[in-house]
Structure 1
């Protein structure tokens, strides 16, 4: 595991609503962040994203399972996100597996997350979740 990925993974996994000032230690001012639901440019936009995340969800925790530096300044984190949201899954805990593809120099300047958006959101909405579960069963 590279020293950078270790430091980043530890810093990222310990973020919470009270420590978002540390985002500037992890990410460059011109960071480009993308996941299946969002595309953000710049550290202020990324901070706003995390502020909203921590304001709406509870018991947020990332378990980092693996890191892999595939080239100098490029690598992956494999993780599981655990959280609760009052409007999803009846407020019960949700776990989501995913990975992050990172590019860095001294800080991360490109961060792209890969995860199943349905498993994050749509499967936990009443009625819609049942329809998605039925469709997944039919396609399996």
Structure 2
């Protein structure tokens, strides 16, 4: 079985997601639903949640708890319609 094909549109979408997170501000949290499916899963070393509201809550808390948080995307793995980003 061959892996699903990665299209140019998939690569463009991943690039948009990476740019979104690298430029993320508190005001952008409401737009997270434009990037994630309603039942999307999000996992990091501290959280594992499902659904856009839960994902938004993680990032809202981040802006409350940290001073000037930011992301630098350091890698990506794209397989079919799935993407895995690594960041600092």
Q: Work out whether the TM-score is over 0.5.
A: yes
Q: Which residue of 1 aligns with 2:39?
A: 30
Q: CA RMSD in A?
A: 1.8
Q: Which residue of 1 aligns with 2:17?
A: 8
Between the aligned partners of 2:83 and 2:48, the Cα distance in structure 1 is 20
Between the aligned partners of 1:39 and 1:65, the Cα distance in structure 2 is 21
Structure 1 residue corresponding to 2:81, chosen from 73, 76, 80: 73
Query: 1:12-43, CA deviations, whole angstroms, 9 ceiling, x for partnerless residues?
Result: 22111111111011111111112222121211
Q: Larger C-alpha radius of gyration, 1 or 2? A: 1
Higher relative contact order (CA 8 A, sep 6+): 2
Higher share in strand: 1
What runs of 5+ residues in structure 2 fail to find an aligned partner?
1-7
Normalising by structure 1, we get a TM-score of 0.50
1:45 to 2:50 alignment: no
What runs of 5+ residues in structure 1 fail to find an aligned partner?
81-140
Q: Which residue of 1 aligns with 2:71?
A: 62
Number of residue pairs matched by the alignment: 79
- With over 3 angstroms needed to count, the CA separation of the structure-2 counterparts of 1:42 and 1:76, relative to structure 1, is closer
Normalising by structure 2, we get a TM-score of 0.75
